[in-house]
């Protein structure tokens, strides 16, 4: 009877231990599940809308990439929007060779303008211009506005020559061979050369080259009338010189917008030369006059010297006569 009671108590104790262990395991499982659920809830709360937006747009952005952007301090909204734009525009978003999430992140971390690059690529695609992501990103990181470059390639830009910011008169001043000054204002139509945009010379270089060539062309003209009769001669001559070499632009046309006659520089130079010759002749005459006056004073000094010598010689005559008389050499008549 006693043994049966002890066995019953031991069995009950074993059952209570099993129940307690199961309860602990169940509690731990609930805690872990709750923690995992909380983490999932936080992730969905933070990135769920972006992830869903990307999935619905076919942008191929994973939840892991969004979490990684958070830790890499990348604004995931910019990358996702750029990826959606690329997908909707029909660009290649392949993870290996296309505009992948990783490449967009890399450009963002390099302090590039991701949205500007995507807008430029889409605009170039619509215009039939060959522009890939690597070139567009390189142009953007070089400090150039790649979107403006694409727009200028599609719609050529007109720039004034000379630049109004640096030219107080707003005209180029050139002188023909007959000495007549011509004041010229030109307009240069340029298109962006994407191949040479990195490392190519800027707009200021194009303006300087065009201005120099216009002045040279007018300076080689025999008369100013020939330039006034055919201003297009200047444009054709300048265009043949390849002024857009090693620049970021391609010159489409050079047009003479305004031309007017200035001063007769040749006549003024001749008058100035004549006046200078007169001053030179006067200076030479004055020099000769001064030389003559000096020579006159020298001759006067010589005359005075000769007179002094004469007086000295005359003073020796009485002495000689007296000496001769004393020596007995003097005889009266």
Q: Is the pLDDT of residue 153 over 60?
A: yes
Given a cut of 70, whether residue 42 has pLDDT beyond it is no
pTM (predicted TM-score): 0.62
Asked if pLDDT for residue 38 goes beyond 50, the answer is yes
Which stretch of 24-33, 184-193, 305-314, 324-333 has the lowest confidence by average pLDDT? 324-333
pLDDT of residue 35: 65
Predicted confidence band at 201 (pLDDT cuts at 50, 70, 90)? confident
Q: Which of 53-62, 169-178, 221-230, 286-295 has the lowest mean pLDDT?
A: 53-62
What is the reported pLDDT for 283? 92
The pLDDT assigned to 6 comes to 45
Tell me the pLDDT tens digit for each residue of 224-261. 888 888 888 888 888 888 888 888 888 888 888 888 88
Average pLDDT over the chain, rounded to an integer? 81
pLDDT at residue 281, rounded to an integer = 92
- Band of the pLDDT at 306, cuts 50, 70, 90? confident
Mean pLDDT across 205-224: 88
Q: What is the mean pLDDT of residues 124-129?
A: 86
| Overall average pLDDT of the 31-51 stretch | 64
pLDDT at 10: 47
State what percent of residues in the chain have pLDDT above 70. 86
Looking at mean pLDDT, say which of 33-37, 40-44, 164-168, 182-186 comes out highest. 182-186
pLDDT digits (tens, 9 = 90+) for 7-27: 543 444 444 444 466 766 777
Rounded distance between C-alpha atoms, residue 320 and residue 300, angstroms: 31
So where are the chain's domains? Answer: 63-153, 156-264
- Give the Cα separation of 151 and 124 in Å (integer): 8
Residue 280 — pLDDT band, cuts 50, 70, 90? very high
Which fold would CATH assign to domain 156-264? Tetrahydropterin Synthase; Chain A (3.30.479)
Pick from 14-28, 162-176, 196-210: least confident? 14-28
């Amino acid at each position: 009877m006693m043994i049966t009671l002890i066995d019953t108590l031991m069995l009950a104790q074993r059952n209570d231990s099993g129940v307690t262990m199961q309860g602990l395991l169940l509690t731990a499982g609930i805690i872990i599940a709750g923690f995992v659920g909380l983490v999932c809830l936080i992730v969905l709360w933070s990135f769920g809308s972006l992830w869903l937006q990307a999935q619905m747009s076919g942008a191929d952005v994973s939840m892991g990439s969004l979490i990684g952007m958070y830790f890499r301090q990348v604004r995931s909204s910019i990358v996702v929007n750029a990826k959606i734009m690329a997908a909707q525009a029909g660009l290649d978003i392949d993870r290996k060779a296309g505009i992948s999430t990783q490449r967009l992140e890399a450009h963002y971390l390099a302090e590039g303008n991701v949205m500007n690059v995507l807008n430029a690529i889409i605009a170039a695609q619509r215009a039939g211009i060959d522009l890939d992501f690597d070139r567009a990103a390189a142009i953007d990181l070089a400090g150039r506005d790649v979107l403006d470059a694409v727009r200028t390639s599609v719609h050529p830009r007109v720039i004034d020559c000379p630049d109004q910011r640096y030219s107080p008169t707003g005209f180029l001043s050139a002188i023909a061979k007959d000495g007549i000054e011509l004041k010229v204002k030109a307009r240069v139509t340029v298109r962006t050369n994407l191949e040479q945009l990195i490392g190519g010379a800027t707009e200021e270089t194009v303006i300087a080259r065009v201005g120099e060539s216009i002045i040279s062309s007018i300076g080689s003209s025999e008369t100013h009338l020939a330039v006034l009769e055919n201003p297009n001669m200047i444009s054709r001559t300048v265009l043949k010189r390849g002024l857009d070499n090693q620049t970021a632009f391609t010159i489409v046309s050079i047009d003479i917008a305004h031309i007017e006659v200035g001063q007769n520089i040749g006549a003024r130079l001749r008058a100035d030369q004549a006046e200078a010759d007169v001053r030179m002749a006067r200076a030479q005459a004055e020099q000769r006059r001064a030389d003559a006056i000096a020579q006159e004073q020298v001759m006067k000094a010589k005359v005075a010297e000769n007179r002094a010598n004469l007086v000295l010689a005359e003073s020796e005559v009485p002495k000689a006569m007296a000496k001769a008389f004393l020596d007995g050499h003097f005889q009266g008549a």
